[in-house]
Amino acid sequence: MTKPHILLIYTGGTIGSFRDPESGALKPLPFSDIRQFIPEIEHLTLDLEHISLPTPVDSSDMNPDLWVKLAEIIEQAYEKYDGFVVLHGTDTMAYTASALSFMFRGLKKPIIFTGSQLPVNIVRTDGRENLVTALEIASLQEEGIPSVQEVCIYFEYKLYRGNRAVKVSAEHFNAFDSPNFPPLGEAGVHIELNRKFLRKTNSKKPEVTKQLCREIAVLKIFPGMNTNILSSILKTEGLKALIIETFGSGNAPTDKPFLDLIQNAVESGIVVVNVSQCLSGSVEQTLYATGRGLEHAGVLGAGDMTTEAVITKLMYLLGNYPDISKVKELFSQNLRGELSL
């Protein structure tokens, strides 16, 4: 039986960092040093190769250009490998995983993101288990076909859909959660996949999209917010979309100046989206009067999508569909498992 052939892609992040003795800051290790600290990799039943970004980055410096570079690495290697594991910093991992999920249409192989809360050269690091199990999940097959065929995040014994995950802790090992969708798998004594929720495709090769729009803003509303803040954001040159993080199930102030600004923005061609500040639950703009004002103004409800998924979905749609009506139509559809309908 042929061993699964897995490509490990190192982008940077805590898992591959060491603490500089002079400054105390975390700095990237060469990838060869990471393998030195995780000898268990050599005992896995798979053929493993690795590649690094030319310059590993802290995930806070991740951006759409690097997402495109990562997508190109996977696209060029797609036929050669059975699966991909991406080592990534935790701070923006959910953004990158969401972005890649939209950039790859018809994915038939796993792209598993993982990382750690402690550097790999620390005795108590969580990086060893995260990486080893992510590699095992990426190599799972049934009759020669990958068991997982989507972009995921594996962290602290749980496998999550990439565009459903959010980072919920800066200091605990269980740093991620998927508040509105069940985990796709769990690693204990055995790796158990939640098969009824796994995505499958009939395509033979994915379509890879590399055009991403950056002209997007996010506004988190709060009680007593000055309407001039909203006005200033909407005057941003070239703005294509505004995401408003609202209260509860999509509720916002009902004062006329606020709603007039929103309606004028929608009428001018700016896509305005309503996403909840709550970790779990769904936007229902018609449930309360405080949400109906946004509904009447032409704001799109994000349903139960995460802010990370909404941002990257809009980047993908606005970068590839010049017709705003088409963008709005597709935004309200479940494209990659990011939205419950």
Residues identified as active-site:
14
Contact criterion met (CB below 8 Å) for 240 and 318: yes
Enter the DSSP assignment of 239.
-
- Dihedral of CA atoms 170, 187, 27, 101 in degrees, nearest 10, equals -80
Rounded CA gap, 219 and 224, in Å? 14
Beta sheet of 47-52, edge-to-edge order:
47-52, 5-10, 83-87, 111-114, 151-155, 158-161, 185-187, 191-193
Helix, strand counts (H, E) of the chain: 9, 20
Tokens of 178: 């998927």
From CA 162, how far away is CA 175, in angstroms rounded? 14
Stated as kind and residue range, the H or E segment containing 268 is none
Report which DSSP code applies to 61. Answer: G
